[in-house]
Amino acid sequence: MTARPPLQPGATLGIVGGGQLGRMIALAAAPYGLKVHIFAPDADSPAFDVSSERTVAAYDDVAALARFAASVDVVTYEFENIPAEAAEALAAKAPLHPNAAALATTQDRLTEKRFINDLGIETAPFRAVDTPEDLTRALAEIGRPAVLKTRRFGYDGKGQRMIRAEGDADAAAILADFNGAPCILEGFVPFEAEVSVVAARGADGAFAAYDPCANEHRDHILAVTRVPAPGIAPQTEAAAIGIARRIAEALDYVGVLAVEMFLVPQADGPARVVVNEIAPRVHNSGHWTIEGATASQFDQHVRAVCGWPLGDPSRIGGMAVAMHNLIGDDVEAWATILARPGAHLHLYGKGEARPGRKMGHVTELLPKT
Amino acid sequence: MTARPPLQPGATLGIVGGGQLGRMIALAAAPYGLKVHIFAPDADSPAFDVSSERTVAAYDDVAALARFAASVDVVTYEFENIPAEAAEALAAKAPLHPNAAALATTQDRLTEKRFINDLGIETAPFRAVDTPEDLTRALAEIGRPAVLKTRRFGYDGKGQRMIRAEGDADAAAILADFNGAPCILEGFVPFEAEVSVVAARGADGAFAAYDPCANEHRDHILAVTRVPAPGIAPQTEAAAIGIARRIAEALDYVGVLAVEMFLVPQADGPARVVVNEIAPRVHNSGHWTIEGATASQFDQHVRAVCGWPLGDPSRIGGMAVAMHNLIGDDVEAWATILARPGAHLHLYGKGEARPGRKMGHVTELLPKT
């Protein structure tokens, strides 16, 4: 699409995806006087509860996508696994932010890692794996432990397998579990911390990053985010933000993105930054910004996709912030959390608290140390 | 209704009224995992855009009110001019918070002032006025200037007339403009500042007040709120909060209320507090709490009406806050406000920017002085 003038209040923001991220984007759009139209396949989608218009249809229903896009002023999305044909159908009818290139680059782990390396940015060592022979060769070259992942549609540890010792299983048996899906083998990175940079890029090319945050995972699912990242050196922070900026600029990105990174300790200086993956969307590790920053990641995303100036990403009063996810039956503690002074409870309006399901999160601002 | 257990996430909050206050209550309810059902007569109501269920019906449609209340877990409202029969219809089918007594007391200026005086709290001098003879006698007793107001259904200066000099007009002519509506004459209060106390009372009797804020009106409409109130003495703050608490307790109130007060300078000590009026609902002078306090007035209201513990009303980082209303075509400055660092823009999603119409507001947190 050609460049368009900024949206006016009263315009309609279309969001593909009806989960908690779409819900929180919709909640951020409302104070700007925007209407929101959610496109999602599940009639019980949490984001429907806070939107003015709803389309229930499958993500590969190209006709429904086209009707949806034609009815809104701009389209964005809450997840990167939008098929290329769907992205085309959307972009033909409305501005799509972030753009289709960002989707294509980030929804395939192989394409993504090559793109990052081409920018001169380090990733884990990796090899494409389509056959048992590929896997045997890749293991020989990269070493163990290593992780075999599907190139597409993986999240929260789904679609991946750690390969540890020699003789863990033979290559053909391992690959059989992946049902012929194209895969990638990723080498081990001896990291001391996982951080992410959540940042926004505006339609005018302006760039605004939040302070890098430290992330702790449990069972491959984000459990805790802390900002500022404990013990991170200023040079490492600057390097991490610089990497996010180069990625955003190379994609001609408009909206919020998150870049997950490993910090690898160095004997003779600040930690080395190795990129793990890019999320072309608002991100769980940015939820702390709702209360912790002047403009939240959801505000920034709305501002960016509407063609408006970005807001201020600085932390409120310079305070430290901690965000804990409520996974599965963690959510049963809601009443206790409600009674805790200063705890900000966020529940996503999901029905059943299945194991591993993100049901909500809690944010606490901590006095400046 | 008898006392009920606290609501569970996933429950439905019913809100009578579909304007900006209902909209902001709905936006605050979502992060608690609640669904919202809005009842409003106008199909274009701003609150509909952020609610999961909508009823379009008149406020005197008792059958529609009863169906609405039967479909939700608790009912609240965004304005006090709910007819007694409507309140009865609602309360018969669901817990109604704040209660019907709060509505009955505050929707009639005469009843309200008598209630306040009965608590030993000062108001402007007042007299009931139903006939020209009443008005003549009231003016002789109270003096001029004085303000004649309808007892019911006035807001933002509507339904009132200032009576200044002798011979301004004769009593019969003045009263003719009020079409026989029961009136009240209020005497002049020589105030130095207008403040309000926005506070919450929980179902358990807990009470939590925000810091009193100073309000500036233009053309009878709130223009600016500042907190802390400039120059207010600590004793005056404590007195103002104590008054709000006594009012809330006397009404067995559950939810957020606002008490508007005049500060009258005294030669020999801190200012005297004179109550102007009570709003049994979230209030425009509490909008600063969305960004300025740990728990906003909308959070507190949702917590209270759900039977949950109140949140923390303290100001974030002790910062000062200023809130400016966007009235009528003030809203045309939206793009400029969006570009101002640290300004939080709130637009209410209303169509036409008619003169005197509240279209949005802007909040700014100021460094601690």
For each of the domains in chain B, give its residue range(s) and CATH number, in order of start: 12-96 (3.40.50.20), 125-187 (3.30.1490.20), 193-366 (3.30.470.20)
What are A268's two structure tokens? Answer: 């003779």
ipTM, 2 dp: 0.94
pLDDT of residue A306: 98
Q: How confident is the model at residue A167 (pLDDT cuts 50, 70, 90)?
A: low
When pLDDT is averaged across residues A121-150 and rounded to a whole number, the result is 95
Phi-psi region of B248 (alpha: psi -120 to 50; beta: other; left: phi over 0): alpha
Q: What is the mean pLDDT of chain B?
A: 94
Place of tokens 């389309």: A55
- Using the Cβ of B51 and the Cβ atoms of chain A, whether some distance falls under 8 Å is answered with yes
Mutation site, B32, B48, B50, B323, interface A, largest A CB count within 10 A? B50
Optimal mutation site among B12, B49, B306, interface A, most CBs of chain A within 10 A: B49
Token look-up 């005294």 returns B266
What is the spatial distance between Cα B225 and Cα B258, in angstroms, rounded to a whole number? 13
Q: Cβ distance B317 to A287 under 8 Å?
A: no
Residues of A in contact with B349 (CB under 8 A): 9-10, 30, 33-35
Handedness of CA B312, B313, B319, B322 (dihedral sign): positive
Element (H, E) at B222: strand B221-227
Residue of A nearest to B313 (CA): A342
Under the banding of pLDDT at 50, 70 and 90, the label for residue A201 is very high
Which is higher by pLDDT, A157 or A194?
A194
Residue A156 has pLDDT above 70, yes or no: no
CA distance B34 to chain A (A): 7
Q: Place A170 in a pLDDT band, splitting at 50, 70 and 90.
A: confident
**Per-residue pLDDT at A157 exceeds 70:** no
The pLDDT of residue B140 is above 50: yes
Alpha helices in chain A (DSSP H): 20-29, 62-70, 84-91, 100-106, 109-118, 132-142, 171-176, 234-250, 289-292, 297-305, 334-338
Q: What number of residues does chain B have?
A: 369
Does residue B94 have a pLDDT over 80?
Answer: yes
State the pLDDT at residue A168: 62
> What percentage of residues in chain B have a pLDDT greater than 70?
97
Residues A47-69, mean pLDDT to the nearest whole number: 97
For residue B28, give the nearest of A362, A18, A31 by alpha carbon: A31
Name the pLDDT band for A81 (thresholds 50, 70, 90): confident
CB atoms within 10 A of CB A333: 14
More confident residue, A69 or A3: A69
Return the pLDDT at B173: 86
User: Which residues share a beta bridge with A363?
Assistant: A323, A344
**Confidence label for B1 from pLDDT (cuts 50, 70 and 90):** very low
Is B254 or B157 the better-scoring residue by pLDDT?
B254
- pLDDT given for residue A368 in this prediction: 64
Residue-wise pLDDT tens digits, B261-281: 999 999 999 999 999 999 999
Look at strands A160-163 and A146-150 and give their pairing.
Answer: antiparallel
**pLDDT digit string, tens, across residues B184-229:** 999 999 999 999 999 999 999 999 999 999 999 999 999 999 999 9
Q: Which of B347, B344, B349 is nearest to B330 (CA)?
A: B347
Nearest beta carbon to residue B30 from set A6, A27, A317: A27
For residue range B288-333, list pLDDT tens digits in order: 999 999 999 999 999 999 999 999 999 998 899 999 999 999 999 9
Q: Does A49 touch chain B (CB under 8 A)?
A: yes
- Are residues A111 and A239 in contact, defined by beta-carbon separation less than 8 angstroms? no
Give the one of A52, A346, A351 whose C-beta lies nearest to B31's C-beta: A346
Q: A369: pLDDT confidence band, cut at 50, 70 and 90?
A: low
Q: What's the pLDDT tens digit per position in A218-273?
A: 998 999 999 999 999 999 999 999 999 999 999 999 999 999 999 999 999 999 99
How many helices and strands (H and E) does chain B possess? 11, 17
Q: Are B48 and B40 in contact (CB under 8 A)?
A: yes
Q: How confident is the model at residue A155 (pLDDT cuts 50, 70, 90)?
A: low
What's the mean per-residue pLDDT of chain A? 94
pLDDT class for B70, splitting at 50, 70, 90? very high
Judge whether residue A176 has pLDDT over 90: no
Which among A26, A30, A312 has CB closest to B341? A312
Query: Model pTM?
Result: 0.96
Q: What's the mean pLDDT in B237-257?
A: 98
Mean local confidence (pLDDT), A65-88: 95
Beta-ladder partners of B185: B127, B148
